[in-house]
A = this chain, B = another copy of it.
């Protein structure tokens, strides 16, 4: 593996290196699509609670632990300098935090 990386530095335009780069790009795009989904998923729940003001079936425990966990992810992203992690969790904390706030307000 290490030898393969070194050979790609020596000859980056080889066919094998190109294929490998394309594979890694596809995996990265898959990661971005995954992050977009698990971030934006909170939006319809936020809108629903905003409109109905009804939160009885929503678990307080879920959103307390979730918002705390997202805060830890944000801190982890900041400390390891991971931009996608920071952006995704900054958006998620607003949406999930908003749902938690409405749960506490409407019960």
Contact = CB atoms under 8 A, between A and B. Distances in A.
A37 B76 contact: no
A74 B99 CA distance: 26
Interface string A16-55: 0000000000010011011111111111110111001011
Interface residues of A, number: 41
A65 B80 contact: no
5 contacts: A30-B76, A35-B69, A40-B65, A47-B59, A58-B58
Interface of A: 27, 30-31, 33-45, 47-49, 52, 54-63, 65-66, 68-70, 72-73, 75-76, 79-80
B45 A62 contact: yes
A59 B50 CA distance: 12
Report whether over half of chain A's contact residues are helix, strand or loop; otherwise say mixed.
helix
A27 to B, nearest CB: 5
A58 B61 contact: no
